């Protein structure tokens, strides 16, 4: 099996390249800067000539398309640029995959839903994004699905240990700040269902191995606010939980209150559910906490 991972320099892409590369041939892509030690090639997905040159017939069996702009605020203020990357770029990748006979896997988001409380969204529910990011990711799903046989995996906020040149994910940042005696401002209103990067990589590999097509939700089933999450981290590590301060998350982008995803498709596929927040917290590596 030969994989291509677009956005191989990103948070999820790096983990996909590293983990899938242990058992298969994997090429990742970067856009702005290569990453030392990773097999990455340059690619700007908004340039169809570059996409077509890389994804040719016989080049790859599977293309996992992670490249996107996922910053909610940047998406609101650069609509044209984000449409070009998240929608047009996905179209170029999808069309190249279709021509080359390459299977496409598209990483999507819970932000295709509006977050109405008390609802768990299944794969059959109609999406209703409420901010630019969600609209562009949903449009990307449509582009991917036009290839036929594509797999779209919708996931909530991801976490795990990042590399020093990357933006930290919430729990490692919170633990580092608590250890240093700094306050941790955290929203106590929005409910999230975080998934560990490694759990998602395992699920992606298994869904590909089982030739699953269409839309699949992969999410924790227990929700948490960032405030409660940071308090749990403080309590788990015997740190001062009063350093965690409630601060509403805000900005121009509308934020869904509660985007709980439920899957009608994962049961029976033997895919391990995501690690609970409590277990993931206990397993936070000391190296992420030291400085």
Nearer to ligand NAP, 106 or 239 (CB): 106
The window from 37-45, 120-128, 209-217, 220-228 that contacts ligand NAP (CB under 6 A) reads 37-45
Question: In 3D, which of 242, 226, 223, 245 has the Cα closest to residue 234?
Answer: 242
Q: Select 103 or 137, whichever has its Cβ closest to ligand NAP.
A: 137
Q: With binding defined as CB under 6 A, does residue 280 bind ligand NAP?
A: no
The binder of ligand NAP chosen from 20, 27, 30, 150 (CB under 6 A): 30
Question: Is 158 one of the binding residues for ligand NAP (CB under 6 A)?
Answer: yes
Nearer to ligand NAP by Cβ, of 190 and 243: the residue is 190
Per the structure block, which two tokens stand in for 191? 């409910």
Contact 145, 137 (CB under 8 A): no
How far apart are CB 30 and ligand NAP at their closest, in Å? 4
Q: Does 153 bind ligand NAP (CB under 6 A)?
A: no
**CB 21, min distance to ligand NAP, A:** 16
From 93, 107, 150, 243, residue interacting with ligand NAP (rule: CB under 6 A): 107
- d(CA 39, CA 233) in angstroms, rounded, equals 34
- What is the rounded CA–CA span in Å between residue 127 and residue 179? 40
Buried b / exposed e along 128-142 (16+ C-beta atoms within 10 A)? ebbbbbbbbbbbbbe
Q: Are 133 and 148 in contact (CB under 8 A)?
A: no
Closer residue to ligand NAP (CB): 33 or 246:
33
- Report strand pairing: 195-196 vs 184-186: unpaired
Structure tokens at 160: 């795990």
Site map 63..92 versus ligand NAP, x via CB under 6 A? ---xxx-x--------------x---x---
Both tokens of 162, joined, read: 């990042």
User: Is the separation of the CB atoms in 78 and 223 below 8 Å?
Assistant: no
Q: Which residue ranges make up the site for ligand NAP (CB under 6 A)?
A: 6-7, 9-13, 30-33, 43-46, 66-68, 70, 85, 89, 107, 109, 137, 155, 157-158
């Amino acid at each position: 099996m030969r994989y291509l991972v677009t956005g191989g320099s990103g948070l999820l892409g790096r983990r996909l390249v590293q983990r899938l590369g242990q058992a298969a041939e994997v090429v990742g892509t970067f856009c702005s800067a290569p990453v030392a030690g990773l097999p990455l090639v340059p690619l700007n997905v908004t340039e169809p000539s570059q996409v077509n040159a890389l994804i040719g017939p016989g080049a790859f069996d599977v293309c996992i398309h992670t490249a996107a702009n996922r910053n909610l605020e940047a998406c609101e203020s650069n609509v044209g640029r984000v449409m070009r990357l998240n929608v047009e770029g996905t179209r170029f990748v999808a069309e190249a995959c279709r021509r080359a006979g390459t299977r496409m896997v598209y990483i999507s988001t819970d932000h295709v839903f509006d977050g109405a409380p008390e609802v768990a969204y299944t794969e059959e529910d109609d999406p209703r994004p409420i901010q630019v990011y969600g609209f562009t990711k949903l449009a990307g799903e449509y582009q991917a699905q036009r290839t036929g046989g594509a797999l779209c995996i919708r996931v909530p906020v991801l976490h795990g240990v990042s590399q020093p040149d990357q933006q930290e994910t919430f729990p490692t940042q919170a633990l580092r700040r608590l250890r240093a005696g700094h306050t941790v401002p955290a929203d106590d209103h929005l409910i999230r269902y975080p998934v560990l990067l490694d759990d998602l990589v395992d699920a992606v590999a298994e869904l590909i191995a089982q030739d699953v097509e269409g839309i699949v939700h992969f999410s924790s089933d227990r929700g948490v606010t960032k405030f409660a999450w940071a308090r749990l981290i403080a309590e788990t590590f015997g740190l001062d939980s009063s350093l965690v301060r409630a601060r509403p998350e805000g900005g121009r982008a509308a934020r869904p209150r509660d985007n709980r995803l439920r899957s009608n498709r994962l049961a029976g596929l033997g895919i391990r559910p995501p690690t609970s927040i409590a277990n993931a917290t206990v397993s936070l590596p000391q190296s992420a906490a030291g400085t």
